[in-house]
Amino acid sequence: MKHFRGVFDVENVNALISEAIWMKHNPLAHAGLGKGKKLGMIFMNPSLRTRLSTEMAARDLGMDVQVLNMGDAWTPDFEEGSVMDGQEVEHIKEAAGVLGRYFDMLAIRAFPGLLDREADDAEGVLRAFEQYGKKPILSLESATRHPLQSLADMITLEEQKKKKSPKVVLTWAPHVKSLPQAVPLSFAEWTLAAGYDLHIAHPAGLGLDPRFTHGAHITNDQNEALAGADFIYVKNWSKREPYGVPYEDGASWMLNEKRLDIAPNARIMHCLPVRRNVELSDDLLDSPRSLVLEQAENRLWAARVVLKNMLTDILINEKAAIPY
């Protein structure tokens, strides 16, 4: 695997999931694989789980890691031909160019602006780091995808499922802010690629990009989707049309124990952070139904298996013998 930007970078999704679970049971395997290899983690947006789990996984593989918070203080200029007489002090051509000289692999976190759908869909930030950095790219969540989260979710489904073909539901949930669609889009493309039976429920007007959801059962009737569910993935997202606008009349979409009488065996999933009693009730989050900590813990193994495969690709290209 050269890059890891979405499920399209994975040759065999189910093999990757199996390998991650194998690693979780063999945590000392590959411990020196990344020795001398340098990972630069660049955050254009804040991060907790992603930063901690990816840095930890990289160090556990022996990599050298440096973390760079770009934040407000230093956002590069991404425009071709820009006359840089404004706020931006550095162009992405130099910023990514230098990072590509320092590191063997660049991990990038870049949320969408939620102002211009075409721009967000084009994934300009990730592409610019790839084009000018000239090094393998590991997405730490981009405008339209959160592949490390989705892989952790797939690991969790594989570990927790009690039947060969569980019913998996992705349901919209209320929130107080306007959120990106990256997590639900990414969850959809991964579950479908892994062969799950995916049902998506959301209020009318909150449809997701069909390029990601093709093959799923989509409904505006939450109860229809929930009935008999084995796994329920709960997530807010904002509208695709008009783009980035939040839906504000969805309070009744919040799940609690009572609502789940129709899905007595369902386990609850959420990528975190979760707003308690807005997105999901305390009674569900505090119950054994909840898998949210298992998902978060599996971020470690998602990052580990992806880094292991990217490192292997680098080592093969160096025509060096893999040191084990």
Nearest distance in Å: CB 167, a copy of itself: 26
62 versus 215: smaller Cβ distance to a copy of itself: 62
Phi-psi region of 278 (alpha: psi -120 to 50; beta: other; left: phi over 0): alpha
152 versus 188: smaller Cβ distance to a copy of itself: 152
68 versus 315: smaller Cβ distance to a copy of itself: 68
Nearest distance in Å: CB 312, a copy of itself: 21
- Closest to 34 in 3D by CA, of 11, 67, 56: 56
Burial class (CB in 10 A: 0-12, 13-18, 19+), 158: middle
Rounded to whole angstroms, what are the CA distances from 244 to 8, 208, 251, 284? Answer: 25, 12, 19, 28
27 versus 228: smaller Cβ distance to a copy of itself: 27
Footprint of a copy of itself on this chain (CB under 8 A)? 38, 40, 46, 48-49, 52-53, 55-56, 59-60, 64, 66, 68, 73-74, 77, 81-86, 89-91, 93-95, 97-99, 101-102, 176, 272-278, 282, 285-286, 292-293, 296-297, 300
Backbone phi, psi, residue 100, to 5°: -65, -30
Q: What is the rounded CA–CA span in Å between residue 171 and residue 218?
A: 10
Nearest distance in Å: CB 15, a copy of itself: 25
Nearest distance in Å: CB 243, a copy of itself: 23
13 versus 305: smaller Cβ distance to a copy of itself: 305
115 versus 251: smaller Cβ distance to a copy of itself: 251
Q: What is the rounded CA–CA span in Å between residue 69 and residue 21?
A: 31
73 versus 115: smaller Cβ distance to a copy of itself: 73
Nearest distance in Å: CB 93, a copy of itself: 7
Angle at 93 between CA 88 and CA 96, to 5 degrees: 95
5 versus 270: smaller Cβ distance to a copy of itself: 270
Helix (H, G, I), strand (E, B) or coil at 40: strand
13 versus 296: smaller Cβ distance to a copy of itself: 296
203 contacts 225 by C-beta, under 8 angstroms: no
Nearest distance in Å: CB 233, a copy of itself: 16
Nearest distance in Å: CB 81, a copy of itself: 6
Helix (H, G, I), strand (E, B) or coil at 69: strand
Beta bridge partners of 169: 199, 232
Q: Which pair of structure tokens corresponds to residue 166?
A: 């569980």
- Closest to 127 in 3D by CA, of 305, 3, 313, 311: 3
- Give the rounded distance of the alpha carbon of 24 from its chain centre: 19
Nearest distance in Å: CB 105, a copy of itself: 14
In our burial notation (b when 16+ CB lie closer than 10 A, e otherwise), range 276-290 reads eeebbbeebbeeebb
Nearest distance in Å: CB 215, a copy of itself: 31
